[in-house]
A and B are shown apart, each in its own frame.
Chain A
Amino acid sequence: DVKVTQSSRYLVKRTGEKVFLECVQDMDHENMFWYRQDPGLGLRLIYFSYDVKMKEKGDIPEGYSVSREKKERFSLILESASTNQTSMYLCASSTIAGPQADTQYFGPGTRLTVL
């Protein structure tokens, strides 16, 4: 079974802090994604990565950056946290080949509160 883990289930930070959200997958997947989920807005793609050291902006990249130094790890960074970044953050991974291609496997989510 694919396992995607996220470093924290709940996180509380103060405005202006630098925040790191970590995601690790154990299935050697090429693609990794970061979403945020807000009531009434559904899942919105922040950033994604096709390969190590590679990143692409999603629909709402402003205020975020990412890092993928190793294939299994994809980090989301909030350079200076703001209250409007309070949200549920979901990481996912997928492979590009085989019968499971296109299917995304999600971590449990990190609920971030910025005070």
Chain B
Amino acid sequence: SQQGEEDPQALSIQEGENATMNCSYKTSINNLQWYRQNSGRGLVHLILIRSNEREKHSGRLRVTLDTSKKSSSLLITASRAADTASYFCATDAGDDKIIFGKGTRLHILP
């Protein structure tokens, strides 16, 4: 029961550049979250944006949400080598469950 779908599947950029990842979903949501996963590790929560919010910032992260288009974007500014990871969007699925997309693999080139 996949809800969110990230785009692109993989992204390689030079260190210092900005990275943008997108997430599209199918049904209405209460909130959308972004998580990061370093290789072989668990997921780490980055940011949650509620359906009545349009934009949210956390450090070098900027998340937007467009409920009319059923889409969200995650922007990482001034990328660093440590940002190399997979990034997942997750949407609420009722009953305290969330559904994850398949992720975007981000690789920061030195």
Chain A residues engaging chain B, CB cutoff 8 angstroms: 4, 31, 33, 40-43, 45, 48, 50, 56, 58-59, 88, 90, 92, 94, 96, 102-109, 111
Query: Which of B42, B96, B97, B103: most chain A Cβ within 10 A?
Result: B42
| Closest residue on chain B to residue A30 by CB atoms | B96
Chain B residues engaging chain A, CB cutoff 8 angstroms: 1-2, 30-31, 33, 40-45, 48, 88, 90, 92, 95-98, 100-103
Residues of B within 8 A of A104 (CB): 43, 45, 90, 98
A to B contact number (C-beta, < 8 Å) = 53
Flag if A41 contacts B98 (CB, 8 Å). no
Flag if B42 contacts A42 (CB, 8 Å). no
Flag if A109 contacts B45 (CB, 8 Å). no
Q: CA of A111 to CA of B42 in the docked complex: distance in angstroms?
A: 11
Q: CA of A43 to CA of B97 in the docked complex: distance in angstroms?
A: 12
Flag if A105 contacts B45 (CB, 8 Å). yes
Q: CA of A73 to CA of B84 in the docked complex: distance in angstroms?
A: 32
Flag if A94 contacts B42 (CB, 8 Å). no
Which of A33, A48, A102, A111 contacts B40, CB < 8 Å? A111
Q: CA of A91 to CA of B40 in the docked complex: distance in angstroms?
A: 14
Q: CA of A6 to CA of B70 in the docked complex: distance in angstroms?
A: 35
Q: Chain A binding site: helix, strand, loop or mixed by DSSP?
A: strand
Flag if B43 contacts A106 (CB, 8 Å). yes
Residues of B within 8 A of A102 (CB): 30-31, 33, 48, 92, 96, 98
B26 smallest CB distance to A (angstroms):
15
| Closest residue on chain A to residue B43 by CB atoms | A106
Flag if B100 contacts A42 (CB, 8 Å). yes
- Chosen A-B contacts, 14 in total, with CB atoms closer than 8 Å, are A4-B42, A41-B102, A48-B96, A48-B97, A88-B40, A90-B42, A102-B31, A102-B96, A104-B43, A105-B45, A106-B42, A106-B43, A106-B44, A107-B42
